[in-house]
Amino acid sequence: MANTTPIARSQISIVGPTAVVDGWEISTVTSSAALTLRDESHLTKVVVRSTDGAPVASQLPGNGTARHVGDTLQIGSAPSEWYLMAKGATTASLVDGLDLPGASGYAAWTDVTHGRALVRLTGADSAKMLSKLCAINLADSVTPNGRAFRTSIAGVNTDIIRDDVNTVRSYLLHCERSSGQYLFDALLDAGIEFGIEPTGAGA
């Protein structure tokens, strides 16, 4: 068998210097722009689904909401569907403690680390920028921090989580991996008027 060292690569191409961290090639570009876009596709990602009545539902956030539990972001992304994400975690650790077999109902999880492109948009103008691509009302009264929803961004079916960073407005957006580069480019294009810059996950 060939002696090889696999390197994981995001669907979103990297411009500028890179480093390999935890087996992933990531950008080390640093931006101090007021509005930044960062590829976080390297986060470990798991989707949990259940049938009605499965006990796992009571262990995870409700539909449309997200919360941090330790290093893990738990997202109620749809009825009986949750995404769990964390940096550098194993898939097993993300679902550890969840009542997946269940006494009633049924639940299962699938590793989607490599199947979802994930980016983070951060900055005070992030909502204004997203409003160019997305028809959802992004006002605090409707989509406050911790809100999760699924909508079309530039024509791509995208999951959005309002996940502010140190009180700065921030959104996580993830979509099917194959559309990741398109989504990233569309976001950068929409952000030109706000001075958006890509920043690296390794920055």
Angle in degrees, CA 176, 61, 121, rounded to 5 = 45
Residue 187 as a binder of other proteins (CB under 8 A): the answer is: no
> Which of 196, 63, 57 has its CA nearest to residue 125?
196
Identify whether the C-beta of residue 28 lies closer than 8 Å to the C-beta of residue 18: yes
- Judged by CB, which is closer to other proteins: 78, or 203? 78
CA distance 72 to 159: 17
Selected from 28, 34, 49, 203, the binder of other proteins by CB under 8 A is 49
Q: Of 157, 176, 49, 48, nearest to 115 (Cα)?
A: 176
Contact 110, 84 (CB under 8 A): no
176 is a contact residue toward other proteins (CB under 8 A): yes
Q: Are strands 8-9 and 36-39 parallel, antiparallel or unpaired?
A: unpaired
190 binds other proteins (CB under 8 A): yes
**151 strand-pairing partners:** 158
Please tell me whether residue 184 binds other proteins under the rule CB under 8 A: no
Q: Which is nearer to other proteins, 30 or 142 (CB)?
A: 142
Closest CB 203 distance from other proteins, rounded Å: 20
| Residue 67 touches other proteins, criterion: CB under 8 A | no
Residues 118-137, interacting with other proteins (CB under 8 A) = 131-137
Interacting residues toward other proteins by CB under 8 A: 1-11, 13, 24, 41-42, 47, 49-52, 105-108, 110-116, 131-139, 142, 154-156, 176-179, 181-183, 186, 190, 192-193
